[in-house]
Amino acid sequence: MSDSTTSPTTDNGHGLRSYLTGFKLALILTAIPFVLVATKDLTSLPASAILVVIAVAAVLQILVHLRYFLHLDLSATPRENMMALVFAAILIFIMVGGSFWIMFDLHRRMSI
């Protein structure tokens, strides 16, 4: 009665091992920036280096979530998945860019 396609541990990369690997990587990529910020007084890294590490960890975190939890592999994704990723990236760029634009404009107007 057990079908191999309904098994939670099928060999298509969606099994428990894949989820646990993604979870461990996500925890590590979350802990690294947290430890750097929490022990800022103990580390001799400048603030700019800490910001770079946080940004790199954030990008890697996005890639881990796309690969291990959303199961999107950029080498074999169908056109619809790629279009959805591009649309989401454009929306994020517009929202973040617009937020920075508003904050810098308000800073300029308030400092005069």
CA angle 75, 86, 50 (to 5 degrees): 90
- Residue 76 scores a pLDDT above 90: no
Query: Sorting pLDDT into bands at 50, 70 and 90, what band is 10?
Result: low
| Average pLDDT of the residues of the chain | 84
- Provide the 8-state DSSP code for 109: H
Q: Enumerate the domain spans of the chain.
A: 1-71, 76-112
CA gap 47, 54 in Å, rounded: 11
